[in-house]
Amino acid sequence: MEISEKIIETTVEIFTTMVMMDVSADGPPLEVSGALCDTVTGMIGLAGTHKGVLAIHIPNQVALAITSSFLGMDVDEINDDVRDAVGELANMLGGNVKTILSQNGRDIELSLPSTIYGHEYGFKTASDVDMVILPFKTAAGGFMVELQLEK
Amino acid sequence: MGHNVLLVDDSSTMRKIVGRSLHQAGLDFDNIYEAADGLLALEVLEKESVDIVLSDMNMPNMDGISFLKEKANRPNMKDIPVFMFSTETGDDIIGEAKALGAVGAIKKPFTAHMVSEVLGPFLK
């Protein structure tokens, strides 16, 4: 199974079991994530035999819906709860990608998750990387999961 | 049920989710204490009576493995059982956690049913 398929499987599992929200892949992988507008990005770094970054880019309105479902309460502004929830999604995705890339879990280290948010920003690495950018859809809107691994 | 639990995770979201899952699993505790990392967890264990600890692995200041090592060196808390809640479930890492005294591990993402299956028998 290709890593794209495994990331899709992992993302669906996380959203179904923890966020309590239906999610599915929304078409083929994208070439670039492009400019990110009014978005929250959760990201986690990988170091060791595989170096890179795993990120989840969620538009504000979708992030509010996801956090509300995740926490079981209404959230109507981008606050610490939203940033923490998006960071935790990146953490869970990163941990599962680590398991996909390393069976024993010892030869890849994960950073702590962090978040970026703002009106408009780009997400680009300086290194030569293999990139996978996967679009997903929910009833509240779409989001992207991006994995960059150093060649 | 007469038990006190300590939830250790740097994510406040995840502490809420774990607490909710315990309730959904029918595992109601008298007190649910929270700590954002291993260092703060040790402080709670020094002050409070805790029956079981549920801990993340990847945390700032003191991670799950370092927490287990430090806890094992403190006679007043070394016998309190710890379950690891983590995205990191590689055999080596879980093996190391168990060698340091962790009694089990639950992989994130998890369901309330999974929590019940793992913790339920232990708390009866």
Q: In three state form, how does the secondary structure of B24-49 look?
A: HCCCCCCEEEEECCHHHHHHHHHHCC
Q: Which tokens go with A143?
A: 């989001």
> Please, what's the largest Cα pairwise distance for chain B?
34
Shortest CA gap A104–chain B (Å) = 4
In contact, B84 and B115? CB cutoff 8 Å:
no
In contact, B48 and B4? CB cutoff 8 Å:
yes
Is B68 inside any structural domain? yes
Is residue A57 very low, low, confident or very high in pLDDT (cuts 50, 70, 90)? very high
Domain extent, residue B108, equals: 6-123
| B33: phi then psi, degrees, rounded to nearest 5 | -90, 155
- Residue B124, pLDDT score: 67
- Residue A100, pLDDT score: 87
CATH code: domain of residue B85: 3.40.50.2300
Bond before A135 cis per omega within 30 degrees: no
CATH code: domain of residue A131: 3.40.1550.10
Is B73 inside any structural domain? yes
Residue of B nearest to A101 (CA): B90
In this structure, of A65-69, B52-56, B101-105, the range with the lowest mean pLDDT score is B101-105
Domain extent, residue A50, equals: 3-150
Average pLDDT of the residues of chain A = 93
In the predicted structure, residue B51 carries a pLDDT above the cut 90: yes
Residue of A nearest to B109 (CA): A14
Side-chain-side CA neighbours of B56 within 13 Å: the count stands at: 33
Domain count, chain B: 1
Of A84, A98, A105, the CB nearest to B11: A84
Domain count, chain A: 1
Q: With an 8 Å Cβ cutoff, are A98 and B92 in contact? A: no
Q: Which of B109, B11, B15, B19 is nearest to A83 (CA)?
A: B11
Q: Region B91-118: what's the mean pLDDT?
A: 88
pLDDT digits 0-9 by tens, A25-36: 999 999 888 899
| A52: phi then psi, degrees, rounded to nearest 5 | 165, -155
Is residue B95 very low, low, confident or very high in pLDDT (cuts 50, 70, 90)? confident
In contact, B54 and A68? CB cutoff 8 Å:
no
Contact of A95 with chain B, judged by CB distance below 8 Å, is answered with yes
Average pLDDT of the residues of chain B = 91
Find which of A57-61, B24-28, B57-61 is predicted with most confidence, using mean pLDDT.
A57-61
Is B58 inside any structural domain? yes
Q: With an 8 Å Cβ cutoff, are A99 and B90 in contact? A: yes
Task: Identify the contact set of chain B against chain A, taking CB-CB distances under 8 A.
Answer: 10-14, 16-17, 20, 58-60, 86-94, 108-111
Is B1 inside any structural domain? no
Q: How buried is A44 (Cβ within 10 angstroms: 0-12 exposed, 13-18 middle, 19+ buried)?
A: buried
Is residue B91 very low, low, confident or very high in pLDDT (cuts 50, 70, 90)? confident
Residue of B nearest to A95 (CA): B87
Q: With an 8 Å Cβ cutoff, are B11 and A112 in contact? A: no
Q: With an 8 Å Cβ cutoff, are B92 and A80 in contact? A: no
Of B12, B93, B109, the CB nearest to A106: B93
pLDDT digits 0-9 by tens, A97-128: 998 888 666 789 999 999 999 999 999 877 78
ipTM over 0.95: no
Shortest CA gap A57–chain B (Å) = 18
Is B82 inside any structural domain? yes
